[in-house]
Structure 1
């Protein structure tokens, strides 16, 4: 019965991660779309302030205000800090990088999660899956092209490193979600993160909201981070509202996915965002990856799918063994 329950939990986790992936792709597309006119901290504040209202409704549905009491506040704070760093670095990269490239680089995170699940969650990862992780990181090298001279680059290597840093911190966040999700509800985990975003974005507004630190800058990522706040123009207000509602869906779905199933099972499904990112990039900005970038994306995607297939095969063997030994 325990194995049947584990299968059920895996299915729930996969369903929620797919919902979360769609929400992530919409979120990234909207933020890149707005990045030319509004500062990042204003966008983050708006989506979190709107999103937390929806999340508090979910809190009531999952048990009321009492579920917001944290059993491990230090770990929750660390988790929130990791996701703030992940978002800020990734979104800063979006102001410069094509959506598909930034997304592909960021989505080495499931491979990192697979590695972190060993020491932090006690999950077993065999040599073949470790080999797949290595292949995925080769894909990162292909995409970033470190062999090209710095003065011959259209985009600085530092910009390419931003989504990779985001991937590392996001991976730590998701492993912590798996650890804390044993006792914390998904809606509470979402509220903690959105509250942290609100505090951080208000801090940016206090010190940089007038745009004085953006004056004279040429780096588009820094300009996006530090430009002055302005009230949303025209129909942009609807984009901000959509971001907020989408934020609530995104946070809840990801938290529910990683508290429902093993990280090594859920994480590879996040790669479904890659074709979505290519689609949005083509539809809105007419960006299509070149041949070298596609090779890198293929290596990352292939590595993630292999990790998933190995995990699936391993669980199938475990289930068959339990049947044979009468453990059901």
Structure 2
């Protein structure tokens, strides 16, 4: 029987949160001159190379057992990350991460709607707390005229939830490196397709971060290359720590630790860009975290919600 190591798991997942929150804050720097599609194409290619290197060094197999399941899951998770990183060009990381962490809530709701799964009292309470929390974090964007940027994090959380459900339903028995490779492969493919479309049908591009989504391929500067490589390496190291954390403690406890990404994102936003978190937004993050804790610790909800950045 494997020994439970909750403190080690907490330290590793806290490391994951610190690394990912730091690198994600620099997407706004990439967005000033580069485009979303080129960023994902290059980041995905670098990550795939690193995955191949890890597989070769460790002797792990990259054989895909369920090609269509892995492809479908990769496409859904890849779409979630396209939306997530698109939003990072316009919004603070803590706000975008809060929307992404609605994924466990959506898993519950979709499980009820699509599969008729029973929701207990604690699950219903978690859903209510989570939605209230995200409304507080997103503020007027979520309840007023709602700019597209304001609701993007929640949309990313919805697709992330669908990808998590696909992981369980379509990809049983697949290795972690296979799923990670499929994820980054999908992002690389999306990036290449996006650059191709914008090359064939160019559109007017706004200056700076406002043109991040509409900008096609550009000659990369040293800053763009540095932070794109940092993103790829940071994602690989961070996700590796997170996966290891899940291996040394229970899935329920590890999934609670993942919510460290919210305060880590707020911390780096404050340190790097002097972005504060309002009391209302802080309360919203607290409610989202509490909802995740209730879901993770409820007896009927023991499956992990895997993170991929």
What band does the TM-score fall into relative to the shorter chain? 0.7 to 0.9
Whether 1:240 and 2:228 are equivalent positions in the alignment is: yes
Question: Which of 155, 173, 176 in structure 2 is aligned with 1:186?
Answer: 176
Q: Which residue of 2 aligns with 1:51?
A: 47
- Distance in 2 (alpha carbons) for counterparts of 1:9 and 1:182: 25
The answer on whether the counterparts of 1:181 and 1:258 sit within 8 Å (CA) in structure 2 is no
Q: Which moved more, 1:51-60 or 1:256-265?
A: 256-265
| TM-score normalised by the chain length of structure 2 | 0.80
Do the aligned partners of residues 13 and 242 (structure 1) sit closer, same or farther apart at CA in structure 2, a change above 3 Å counting?
Answer: same
Whether 1:301 and 2:301 are equivalent positions in the alignment is: no
Q: Which residue of 1 aligns with 2:85?
A: 91
Do the aligned partners of residues 237 and 110 (structure 1) sit closer, same or farther apart at CA in structure 2, a change above 3 Å counting?
Answer: same
Which SS does the other structure have where 1:213 is aligned?
coil
Q: Which residue of 2 aligns with 1:199?
A: 189
- Distance in 2 (alpha carbons) for counterparts of 1:311 and 1:278: 31
Q: Which moved more, 1:289-298 or 1:76-85?
A: 289-298
Do the aligned partners of residues 11 and 270 (structure 1) sit closer, same or farther apart at CA in structure 2, a change above 3 Å counting?
Answer: same
Which SS does the other structure have where 1:68 is aligned?
coil
In structure 1, the gaps of 5 or more residues are 151-155, 315-328
Q: How does 1:1-328 map to 2 (within 5 A)?
A: 4-5=1-2, 8=4, 17-64=13-60, 67-113=61-107, 126-145=120-139, 149-150=144-145, 156-179=146-169, 182-209=172-199, 212-215=202-205, 223-252=211-240, 265-310=253-298
Shift in Å at residue 296 of structure 1? 1.4
In structure 2, the gaps of 5 or more residues are 303-309
Shift in Å at residue 219 of structure 1? 11
Greater Rg by CA? 1
Larger proportion of helix:
1
- Distance in 2 (alpha carbons) for counterparts of 1:116 and 1:262: 24
| TM-score normalised by the chain length of structure 1 | 0.76
Aligned residues: 301
The answer on whether the counterparts of 1:51 and 1:246 sit within 8 Å (CA) in structure 2 is no
Q: Which residue of 1 aligns with 2:306?
A: none
RMSD over aligned CA atoms reads: 3.7
The answer on whether the counterparts of 1:268 and 1:307 sit within 8 Å (CA) in structure 2 is no
- Distance in 2 (alpha carbons) for counterparts of 1:126 and 1:261: 25
- Distance in 2 (alpha carbons) for counterparts of 1:27 and 1:255: 19
- Distance in 2 (alpha carbons) for counterparts of 1:58 and 1:75: 23
- Distance in 2 (alpha carbons) for counterparts of 1:97 and 1:251: 23
Shift in Å at residue 68 of structure 1? 2.6
The answer on whether the counterparts of 2:4 and 2:249 sit within 8 Å (CA) in structure 1 is no
The answer on whether the counterparts of 1:177 and 1:259 sit within 8 Å (CA) in structure 2 is no
The answer on whether the counterparts of 2:104 and 2:295 sit within 8 Å (CA) in structure 1 is no
The answer on whether the counterparts of 2:73 and 2:163 sit within 8 Å (CA) in structure 1 is yes
